[in-house]
Amino acid sequence: MTTLSDPPAESFKLSMLVYDTRYRAITFQIIALIAFLTLVGWLANNTIQNLADLGKEPSFGFMFEPAGYDINQRLIDYSSQSSHLRAAFVGLLNTLLVAVLGCITATIVGVIVGVLRLSGNWLIARLMTVYVEMFRNVPVLMWIVLCMAILIESLPAPSAFRGDDPASTMKLFDSVAITNRGVYVPEPLFARGLGDISVFGAFDISLDLIAILLVLGGSIFVSRRIGKKADATQEATGIRPRTWHIRTGVLLLPVIVLLGLLGFHFGYPELKGFNFAGGTHMRNSLIALWLALSLYTAAFIAEIVRAGILAISSGQSEAAAALGLRSNRIMSLVILPQALRVIIPPLISQYLNLTKNSSLAIAVGYMDITGTLMGITLNQTGRELETVLLGMLVYLAISLSISSVMNLYNNRVKLVER
Amino acid sequence: MSNTHADTVLFVRDTMLPQEEPPSSTVGPVGWAKTNLFSGWANTLLTILSILFVAFLLQRLLPWFIAPTWHADSLSECREIFVGIARHHEGACWGVIRDRWQQLMFGFYPSELYWRPILALLLLLVALGPVLFAHLVPSRVMIFSVIYPFILPWLLWGGTVWVSVVTLAGFAVGYGVYKLALRAVPDGFAVIIAAFGTIIWWLYLTGPIANGLASVLPLALEPVASRQFGGFMLSVTIGVVAIACSLPIGIVLALGRRSDLPLVKWLCVGFIEFIRGVPLITLLFVASVLLNIFLPPGTNFDIILRVMIMTTLFASAYMAEVIRGGLAALPKGQYEGADSLGLDYWQAQRLIIMPQALKISIPGIVSTFIGVFKDTTLVSIIGLLDPLGLATAIRADTDWNGIYWELFLFIGVVFFLFCFSMSRYSMYLERKLQTGHR
């Protein structure tokens, strides 16, 4: 008979910190902690010493002082008397503007190119390959600078539009002026506008826009209800009632009526003096950045889409074909819903890349957060530490929020595995 | 019964018909075009549109491209040439490339010393040989690959050779300390102690020893200042250094992120996510304005070195994620197999895990390389004269004011050649290392 007994209780010896695998992990972590704290302490110590030598005290008080510089591209009210904080906020909005515009365009172009690259048409597939390889293998900064150079050097100056026999004319029934100072497009105006509402006293939001969005949201809701009801009728009787005319009416009529009530009209750009006046002025820097970022990112998105579609086994499309679906129905009903699961995670990281790449705006003078906070504010106040750290935190916050929102979506569409 | 067959059937063929040629519309160029270009009305329309597009592009581009402007010395001279041959539209002004290609390649590096960057590039190819084409090059060349990173700065910056030699000796010192420490403590601790020894050697002993040796035996090349660096030489230098240094750091970070030790894990996660969350340009701002504030008072080292440090940190965070993907893709059985053989952590990593994980991550590693190389152009924003920075300078020159297509075409083509060959190489490597596991 063997008797079971507890192993003899060992007394803890110091050498066990080194030789005993149970305790070694703790030792390693303590060493890592000490090394890390030493490094941080060393850096902090140096920083304090250096700042003291320079006579600067780290503080964020300068953010509330008047900025004293102008920002030509802005979405909210700003003047040179506004604070550095507001300048940074204007920059942040500009960053988000170009990021959102870029993401939308890049997705559209990327999906089209990615699908066309797989097309059976040899010539189209080759052309798309050329596009993808051309954009993927050349730095995005070069595309941005090149777009800017093309816009500035090759487009006509506003003076070319002057005279009885002008060298260039406005496009699209005299509504769009494409010049080397930017593109002027018609701006929406309201004769009987509702005015603005001030949010936290910081910036104004147009009540007209809110009203239009509310009405549009209501219309979409009603339209979807009609669609659901049609679905129910179809389920019950097998005959789908004709609803498209009602749905179109529900979608369009209220908005048209509202626009009429508000006195909606377009303000067209006109040549006045040396430049165009009226209309919305899209600056070259915005267009160059938007164009270059979306074309560059679209090349990557095209590859992601292509890989996603190729990842769906051919059995799926063969089975769909056996059911008698045509090729575009196979794509939209069978392949794409499955491919999206493969496509979305890398797509998120491309959106993130585009947002981070928008910081290259500084190369063409677009005033995003890098240009305002880490550019002019840094130079004017000499607060390198605070501005660069703040800028990094802003980008970090943007990146983390995009990735978390997209991860939520990703979790929702994720295939539930057995 | 079987005989009835002959009676009921009047004729039985007893020879095979010769094979017919397939219909001429399904084979040869016609058949190919029919299946690949004109397989339906939509495809036909697309094909015709693309042919028109390509034709339009060629008709516009070819005359532009073959402009006889190679010897022009300024943009106005180009224009005179076009007036002389009475062209109705302008062509390319290639004179700018002839005039400035050396600058685009080497920046303001002294022209009598061009042999040094060229030699460095050739040696780089030799050093990459055993890494890229392991089966063709004897493995002894690998030693050269290891010491190449120390030859490179000496060749490019010049000065005494002893700094490189003594820095290299740091590894020997580290190895010696490791062997000594192994007698007293287990493996992991010995590594830590050796790392400490090496760092102390580099921080405190390298300078004095190198100076001492240089005063005894000055083996020096003519020094070149960092502000003379530029062009593709600068891009390649920053790219190669960042890529070479980021791989080991990335491996360490990836292992740290998968570690069982929570503290180590969270430190690595924090570092990786921070670096990946901010744009490279902010890190370059840190390099240009902040790094000196973080370091001991009076430290003021070279801007190119500072940029290299930040680019390396940036690249290693991305590298870590790629390698982590490779580690995660390995089946669990590999780890358990290593454990069951009685290998310790580092042995298992070195002999079993890493060779496979790195192989899986090759496509990702190469695309990180390509990304880093492309991102080296960002240094033009903080004022270094990489090809894009030089392009801005050239366009501001009165001779070439208003030129852009030719310059950017040249720069773009060189970048394309580098990056495209890297991506093709990675495909080749992927095929070669494919050992049929799937």
* Nearest CA among A265, A308, A288 for reference residue A368: A288
A417 pLDDT higher than 60: no
Question: Quick one: average pLDDT of A115-128?
Answer: 88
Reported as a single tens digit per residue, the pLDDT across A262-305 is 878 787 877 777 777 777 788 889 999 999 999 999 999 999 99
pLDDT band for position A374 (cuts 50, 70, 90): confident
SS3 B159: strand
A4 pLDDT higher than 70: no
Does residue A108 contact residue B386 with C-beta atoms inside 8 Å? no
- B56, two tokens: 């339009």
> Residue B194's pLDDT is what?
85
> Rg of the Cα trace of chain B?
31
**Residue A308, amino acid:** G
Binary contact (B274, A122; C-beta < 8 A)? no
Task: Say how far apart CA A109 and CA A299 lie, in whole Å.
Answer: 8
pLDDT higher for A93 or B363? A93
Half-sphere exposure of A382 (CA within 13 A, CB side): 5
> Residue A418's pLDDT is what?
47
pLDDT band for position A1 (cuts 50, 70, 90): low
Distance from CA of A21 to the nearest CA of B (A): 11
> Residue A10's pLDDT is what?
63
Least confident among A157-161, A296-300, A368-372, B407-411: A157-161
Binary contact (A137, B423; C-beta < 8 A)? yes
Instruction: Give me the residue spans of the domains in chain A.
Output: 17-54, 187-267
Element (H, E) at A275: strand A275-277
| C-alpha to C-alpha distances, A278 to A76, A179, B92, nearest whole angstrom | 18, 14, 37
Least confident among A197-211, A231-245, B118-132: A197-211
pLDDT higher for A399 or A175? A399
Pairs of residues, one from chain A and one from chain B, whose beta carbons lie less than 8 Å apart: 159
Task: Say how far apart CA B411 and CA B407 lie, in whole Å.
Answer: 6
Q: Which residues of B touch A139 (CB under 8 A)?
A: 374-375, 377, 388, 415
Element (H, E) at B239: helix B231-257
Q: Which residue of B has its CA nearest to A149?
A: B404
User: What is the distance, to the nearest Å, from the Cα of residue A409 to the centroid of all Cα atoms in its chain?
Assistant: 16
Low-confidence ranges of chain B (pLDDT < 50): 438
Domains and CATH numbers, chain B: 112-157+228-433 (1.10.3720.10), 159-221 (no CATH)
Q: How many C-beta neighbours within 10 Å does residue B250 have? A: 25
Residue A63 per-residue DSSP state: G
Distance from CA of A149 to the nearest CA of B (A): 7
Task: Say how far apart CA B384 and CA B391 lie, in whole Å.
Answer: 12
The dihedral over CA atoms of A73, A78, A80, A85, expressed in degrees to the nearest 10, equals -100
Binary contact (A388, B295; C-beta < 8 A)? no
> Residue B311's pLDDT is what?
93
A201 pLDDT higher than 80: no
Reported as a single tens digit per residue, the pLDDT across A334-361 is 888 888 888 888 888 899 999 999 999 9
Does residue B109 contact residue B117 with C-beta atoms inside 8 Å? yes
The crossing angle, in degrees rounded to 10, of helices B231-257 and B303-329 is 40
β-strands A196-199, A187-190 pairing:
unpaired
Q: Which residue from B274, B416, B423 is facing A138, i.e. has the nearest CB?
A: B416
> Residue B322's pLDDT is what?
92
* Nearest CA among B284, B290, B257 for reference residue B273: B257
State whether the Cα torsion A306-A309-A311-A314 is positive or negative.
Answer: negative
In angstroms, the first-to-last Cα distance of chain A is: 47
Q: What is the ipTM of this complex?
A: 0.86
> Rg of the Cα trace of chain A?
30
Distance from CA of A408 to the nearest CA of B (A): 18
Interface test with B, best of A121, A128, A134, A396 (most B CBs within 10 A): A121
